[in-house]
């Protein structure tokens, strides 16, 4: 069993780094903490919310938008070699990060591998924290990077990868999509059926519903495409807003996500929801019909709802 502590970062390529930096700071409201060579590092965590501050949670680097990686930190740093052996044993070749690659990620060590769909997953130990305070690029109310949606080309198979090989637990299903928790948040990872791998969306939590609604007006005023919301997910109880970011990436703000505490683990039962409108949004918001411009999930091959939610 690969014992993950939580999701740590995402790394995403972009052909236009300057534009991605502007959008991430001026629109999403993260903090640019470093620009080194062809990579930009962003912070999102308020100390008061998480009790710590991750050095960074998002990296944009000059490159192909399809070149993506998701970092998870291991619960026990001593596990790294065993995790590498377990991945290899189960048919997932690994690459141990070089010193330069570790420095790029601000971690002591990591292993890169792939989930069965081909998403690049990085298992890191001793990721760096920062002693300085989060200073947002705009007052969007962002409190921390919380979860991603991840494409799966075979949902049951990938669910096993995360829940049997790793320690993720199913919190709920909507259609074939499993929403998986790693720490206490309802989901750190949501697996969405698609025809190819990729990050389906990137979520940042904001402080409260006022931030969601203020951003809704702000984003519309700035001409940012709203993809879903404002609304509320009945599964996680989070109030949410989805919008389009650089290179077609979907971003989400949400607040009020349900937590499943350790003392509830033994008795918690995941629920199955149908893939229908009011399971996606109990307020009845519907996705923007222009989901064909959303490349990560090849929305034309799947239902519009699947392209943007959770």
| The total number of residues written for the chain in this structure | 310
- Answer for which of 42, 161, 243, 310 binds Fe ion (CB under 5 A) is 310
CB of 263 to Fe ion, least distance (A): 25
When the beta carbons of 45 and 252 are compared against Fe ion, the nearer one is 252
CB of 149 to Fe ion, least distance (A): 6
Please count the residues of this chain forming the interface with Fe ion, following the rule CB under 5 A.
Answer: 3
Which span (82-90, 129-137, 245-253, 270-278) binds Fe ion, by CB under 5 A? 245-253
When the beta carbons of 119 and 203 are compared against Fe ion, the nearer one is 203
Sequential DSSP letters for 146-185: EEEEEEESSHHHHHHIIIIIB--EEEEEETTEEEEESSSB
CB of 310 to Fe ion, least distance (A): 4
The number of beta carbons lying within 10 Å of the beta carbon of residue 301 is 12
Cα of 56 vs its chain's centroid, Å: 13
CB of 147 to Fe ion, least distance (A): 6
d(CA 127, CA 150): 22
What are 54's strand-pairing partners?
Answer: 129
Residue 246 carries which DSSP code? G
CA nearest to 236, candidates 200, 276, 282, 169 = 282
When the beta carbons of 102 and 227 are compared against Fe ion, the nearer one is 227
Q: Which residue is nearest to Fe ion (CB)?
A: 203
d(CA 8, CA 119): 15
When the beta carbons of 4 and 235 are compared against Fe ion, the nearer one is 235
When the beta carbons of 53 and 188 are compared against Fe ion, the nearer one is 188
CB of 203 to Fe ion, least distance (A): 4
Range 192-211, binding Fe ion (CB under 5 A): 203
Q: Are 185 and 259 in contact (CB under 8 A)?
A: yes
CB of 309 to Fe ion, least distance (A): 7
When the beta carbons of 109 and 228 are compared against Fe ion, the nearer one is 228
CA nearest to 244, candidates 69, 40, 118, 65 = 65
CB of 6 to Fe ion, least distance (A): 15
Q: Does 151 bind Fe ion (CB under 5 A)?
A: no
Q: Are 279 and 273 in contact (CB under 8 A)?
A: yes
Residue 49 CB-density burial (10 A; 0-12 exposed, 13-18 middle, 19+ buried): middle
- Answer for which of 55, 73, 122, 252 binds Fe ion (CB under 5 A) is 252
When the beta carbons of 123 and 310 are compared against Fe ion, the nearer one is 310
Which span (32-40, 65-73, 115-123, 251-259) binds Fe ion, by CB under 5 A? 251-259
Residues lying near Fe ion in the complex (CB under 5 A) are found at 203, 252, 310
């Amino acid at each position: 069993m690969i014992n993950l502590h939580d999701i740590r970062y995402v790394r995403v390529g972009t052909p236009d780094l300057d534009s991605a930096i502007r959008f991430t700071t001026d629109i999403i409201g993260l903090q640019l903490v470093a620009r080194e060579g062809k990579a930009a590092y962003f912070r999102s965590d308020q100390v008061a919310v998480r009790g710590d501050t991750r050095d960074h949670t998002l990296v944009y680097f000059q490159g192909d938008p399809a070149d993506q990686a998701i970092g998870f930190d291991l619960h026990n740093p001593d596990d790294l070699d065993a995790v590498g052996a377990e991945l290899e044993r189960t048919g997932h070749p690994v690459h141990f990060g070089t010193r330069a690659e570790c420095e790029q990620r601000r971690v002591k060590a990591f292993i890169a591998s792939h989930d069965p769909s081909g998403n690049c997953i990085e298992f890191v130990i001793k990721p760096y924290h920062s002693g300085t305070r989060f200073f947002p690029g705009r007052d969007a109310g962002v409190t921390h990077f919380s979860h991603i949606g991840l494409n799966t080309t075979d949902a049951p198979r990938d669910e096993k990868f995360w829940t049997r090989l790793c320690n993720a637990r199913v919190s709920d299903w909507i259609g074939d999509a499993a929403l998986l928790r790693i720490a206490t948040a309802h989901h750190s990872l949501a697996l969405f059926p698609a025809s190819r791998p990729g990050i389906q969306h990137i979520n940042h939590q904001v402080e409260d519903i006022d931030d969601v609604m203020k951003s809704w007006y702000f984003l519309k005023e700035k001409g940012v495409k709203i993809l879903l919301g404002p609304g509320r997910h009945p599964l996680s109880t989070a109030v949410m807003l989805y919008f389009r970011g650089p290179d077609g990436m979907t971003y989400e703000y949400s607040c009020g996500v349900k937590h499943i505490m350790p003392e509830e683990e033994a008795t918690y039962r995941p629920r199955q929801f149908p893939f229908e409108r009011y399971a996606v949004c109990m307020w009845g918001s519907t996705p923007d019909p222009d989901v064909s411009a959303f490349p990560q999930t090849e929305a034309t091959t799947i239902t519009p709802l699947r392209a943007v939610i959770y």
